[in-house]
Chain A
Amino acid sequence: DAKTTQPPSMDCAEGRAANLPCNHSTISGNEYVYWYRQIHSQGPQYIIHGLKNNETNEMASLIITEDRKSSTLILPHATLRDTAVYYCIVTNSGAGSYQLTFGKGTKLSVIP
C-alpha cells in the first residue's frame, strides 16, 4: 500500500470548515483513498473514500487532486464532536487486499 503523509495536528474553530490534507505521492492507479476518524477511546469510524472524482456524503467531502498525489478531507461545519484523530489511508480495495494500514493521522481539535 502507498504511504501517506498528514500533519500531526490541526485546530479549527467551531462552525468553520475543517480542511485536512493528505499527501500520497506514490499512489498507484488502482488504489483508493480512504478516510477514517477515531474519537478518543472509541474504534475508528469510516468517513468517506474515493478513487479519482471528488466525493461527498452526509459527513464530509473528499477532494482528490487531478494527479491523485494528494487529497483533502473537508468537514463543512466542524462541531466539538468532530474532535478526533483523522486517518488518511491508501489501499487497493480489490480482492486480496485484506487490510488497512493506519498511520499516526492528524489530531483535529475543534475549538469553541
Chain B
Amino acid sequence: GAVVSQHPSWVICKSGTSVKIECRSLDFQATTMFWYRQFPKQSLMLMATSNEGSKATYEQGVEKDKFLINHASLTLSTLTVTSAHPEDSSFYICSARTGALDTQYFGPGTRLTVL
C-alpha cells in the first residue's frame, strides 16, 4: 500500500515552454501533497504544500507564478513549471500524506531538463 506515482519520469523541453508534472496517490486518498526539488548530490527542498480543494502554500523564495500547483482531487496534484529556463532543470519529487498522520510517501521523481 501507500504507492505514489509521478508522470512523466523524465522530460526534456526548450527554454520558454511550460511543463506539467502529475503526482497521483494510487491506493489511498491524499489530503495533503508536497512538492520537493532536489539538485544533484543535495537534499530535498520543500517547494510547496497543497491541500485538496485549496490554494497551495509556497515556501519562502519559491515563485508561485512560476511553479503552479493544482490539487483538484484527493488522488491528484499537478505541478506546472511555466516559462521554464535551464536553471529550472532539477529532480522534482512529490509526496502524499493521508489523514492526520505525518507519514509522507514519495513518488519516484521527475527529471526535468530545460535546454
- Judge: A and B partners, yes or no: no
Enumerate chain A interface residues (CB-CB to B < 8 A): none
Enumerate chain B interface residues (CB-CB to A < 8 A): none
